[in-house]
Structure 1
Amino acid sequence: MRRRTLLGLAAAPFALPLLAACESDGAEATGDLRIATGSPGAVYYRYGTAIAELCKRYLPNVHASVLTTAASQINVQNVLDGTADVAFTQADIAAGSEGSQLAALARLYDDHIHVVVAAAGGIAHLRDLHGRRVSVGGVGSGTAVTADRVLEVSAVSIDRVQLGLDDSVRALRDGTIEAFFFSGGLPVAAIADLAREYPIRLLPLEESVQLLRARYGDYYAERVVPASTYTGITATVAIGIANYLVVRMSMSEPLAYGVTRLLFEGRDELAKAHQAAARLNIRSAISTPPLPLHPGAIRYYRAQKA
């Protein structure tokens, strides 16, 4: 499959007009593109910021901006109510909007559910969290929804608090919580920074995967956080969840096409912001159940014979 690239513009000065033209009756991608992301310490924000920068450079008639949010759950709401134009969200959260006006541009990469504890705290398994003070993620986050599901199917009752990623990191280090959940692509920068300064461990979650699948569907899979991901961490089984980039079905086809094309043709550039962007694969990108693909995205994939 031939793949044109945004890189090497000095050698290919025609790349910009080729990307800007949407090839749909001569229409170009135009309009606002407010990108709902997440915490500045996590992947959505870095990936979304990089997309906005590429839009500014290669889609000159698109006015891109980044919204810092609590992530998946509020992101979906923001797209549906028109507060945002495009958003990152977990597949299990997107599933709750089946039948709405939500559509997908691509399946991007898989999140890993992290359950982070102090290495010296004596907590080795999920069941050890029973009765302890634990952050399940910020209000409106996909992390909070998934964390509650994990605890429910595992029959673990906690002293539940809701803190965003950065506040969870500080609270664990200060000892005001004993663990926190976070759903993010590897590596999560805020967790990597914490591990370099404060010994942590990740709790294994293999026992929860099949329980989640049985109750909530096949949005969950067993994944491994490699030992090299965070300082002092051994390889740990986590729960994987696909991430989608979503829009309203009413988004113009040229804009949806242009953003989808940007994801692929700018993939190497986006990966400089976070390596999760490098995991975008055209064969898996079209699998966004239960959401339909936007017609603009479909046109891109058909052109690539995906």
Structure 2
Amino acid sequence: MTSAEVTRRRAMGAGLGALAGALAGCSGASGPVLRLRLATGPEGGPYNAFGQALAQAVAASGHRIEIVPVSTAASVNNLRKLDDGSVELALAMADAAVDAVLGREPFPRPTPVTALARVYVNYTHLVVAADGPVRSVKELAGRPVAAGAAGSGVQVVTERVLRAAGLSGAPASTPAPAPAADERPLGLAASVSALREGSVDALFWSGGVPTPALAALARELPLRFLPLDDYVGPLRERYAPVYTAVTLPAGVYGLTEPVGTIGVGNYLMARADVPQDAVRDLLRVVFDRWRDLLREVTAGARLEPRFAISTGEVPLHPGAVAHYRSVYG
């Protein structure tokens, strides 16, 4: 058992008596509506879709909470907004969240943020034109690559894969690295357009399956999805066990066989000063309405408590601890 797991179990088991008094006045009480700003992602992207769906579900729930989605560049940007207090809630990829908590680049110091739940898993897509010159990660050397928008979690995982392959401008993992890939900071819509037009030779994306923009591209342009599962081990060893081996299934995007790739969890996060009763009300909505929340984000996903509490180095908010303990024991 890791030290993080020990800490989590102690947190789940300790202090619940004190929490009970603080949480006694819950959602049914009268009073002002608590307005919580939720940092999501670019308009049209999966984080934005999740945020809009959550805002609607909370509004229909009767709880005295209002969720206000805020469009952003996504994970890294969202964690910075949590830290500076411009939002109270955020969505973020697990690797970026761990970096924030540990004060690891691109964060200059440890960031006091908490997790409410791991809500679903992103699948890393490395997409090239089927008739193009690229057949493997190594063949991205010196080539233009859409690497994710600045401040996004996509950019984090792209940089790490390229570094592991010796193709990054950062210190390489091989003694004689190939020329670095030409990383272009493009969001999903711009990445799709660039690949279609041929101004990049590949695009990286991290999202649910299928991602609608990529499914639409696959209907108009023959694509190849390159395997990335060989990089799971190096990424886990160097950064954190947030990286897992997952598979793009046959049938999605017109694939005739599965493609192994890298999975990264997505966390619903909060500032530690968000009231605990509000967190408990919010999590009730998340678990009651998870099918609606995930419908436009990732097909076939389920949200289960044992999955939701698996946030590794990122501590759970005390209100989340109390919720899981009271509902699931």
Q: Same fold (TM over 0.5)?
A: yes
Q: 2:302 matched to 1:294? A: no
* CA spacing shift, 1:277–1:294, aligned 2, 3 Å: farther
1:48 to 46, 51, 59: 51
Q: Alpha-carbon deviations, 1:134-162, whole Å to 9, x = none?
A: 01100100111111111001112211110
Partner of 1:100: 111
Q: 2:136 matched to 1:113? A: no
Deviation at 1:250, TM superposition (A): 0.6
TM-score by length of 1: 0.88
* CA spacing shift, 1:89–1:54, aligned 2, 3 Å: same
Identify which range, 41-50 or 282-291, moves more after superposition. Answer: 41-50
Q: 2:27 is aligned with what amino acid?
A: E
Equivalent-residue separation in structure 2 for 1:130 and 1:109 (angstroms): 32
Q: Alpha-carbon deviations, 1:163-205, whole Å to 9, x = none?
A: 0111100111011111111111222111111111221111111
Q: 2:186 matched to 1:163? A: yes
Three-state SS of the structure 2 residue aligned to 1:87 is strand
TM-score by length of 2: 0.82
Q: 2:65 matched to 1:62? A: yes
Three-state SS of the structure 2 residue aligned to 1:160 is strand
Equivalence map 1:251-290=2 (5 Å):
251-275=274-298, 278-290=301-313
Q: 2:136 matched to 1:125? A: yes
* CA spacing shift, 1:247–1:61, aligned 2, 3 Å: same
* CA spacing shift, 1:202–1:167, aligned 2, 3 Å: same
Q: Is the 8 A contact 2:63 2:281 kept in 1?
A: no
Q: Is the 8 A contact 1:222 1:237 kept in 2?
A: yes
Equivalence map 1:215-226=2 (5 Å):
215-226=238-249
Q: Is the 8 A contact 1:32 1:85 kept in 2?
A: no
Q: Is the 8 A contact 1:69 1:75 kept in 2?
A: yes
| 4+ long deviations beyond 6 Å | none
Three-state SS of the structure 2 residue aligned to 1:39 is coil
Q: 2:18 matched to 1:27? A: no
Partner of 1:12: none
Deviation at 1:41, TM superposition (A): 3.7
Q: Alpha-carbon deviations, 1:109-156, whole Å to 9, x = none?
A: 111111111111031111111111001100100111111111001112
Partner of 1:149: 160
Q: Is the 8 A contact 1:138 1:144 kept in 2?
A: yes
Equivalent-residue separation in structure 1 for 2:318 and 2:208 (angstroms): 27
Deviation at 1:33, TM superposition (A): 1.8
Identity of aligned residues (%): 38
Q: Alpha-carbon deviations, 1:260-286, whole Å to 9, x = none?
A: 111101123324433458421111111
Q: Is the 8 A contact 2:143 2:181 kept in 1?
A: yes
Three-state SS of the structure 2 residue aligned to 1:304 is helix
Equivalent-residue separation in structure 2 for 1:304 and 1:178 (angstroms): 49
Q: 2:328 is aligned with what amino acid?
A: K
Q: Is the 8 A contact 2:147 2:183 kept in 1?
A: yes
Equivalent-residue separation in structure 1 for 2:262 and 2:125 (angstroms): 8
* CA spacing shift, 1:106–1:246, aligned 2, 3 Å: same
Q: Is the 8 A contact 2:91 2:269 kept in 1?
A: yes
Partner of 1:242: 265
Q: 2:146 is aligned with what amino acid?
A: S
Equivalent-residue separation in structure 2 for 1:83 and 1:274 (angstroms): 25
Deviation at 1:60, TM superposition (A): 4.9
Deviation at 1:226, TM superposition (A): 0.5
Q: Alpha-carbon deviations, 1:272-305, whole Å to 9, x = none?
A: 4334584211111111111111111111111222
Deviation at 1:219, TM superposition (A): 1.5
Gaps of 5+ in 1: 1-22
1:136 to 144, 147, 152: 147
Q: Is the 8 A contact 1:41 1:190 kept in 2?
A: no
* CA spacing shift, 1:87–1:161, aligned 2, 3 Å: same
Gaps of 5+ in 2: 1-21, 102-109, 168-179
Equivalent-residue separation in structure 2 for 1:76 and 1:26 (angstroms): 29
Q: 1:40 is aligned with what amino acid?
A: E
1:229 to 241, 252, 256: 252
Deviation at 1:258, TM superposition (A): 1.1
1:90 to 89, 93, 98: 93
Equivalent-residue separation in structure 2 for 1:206 and 1:246 (angstroms): 27
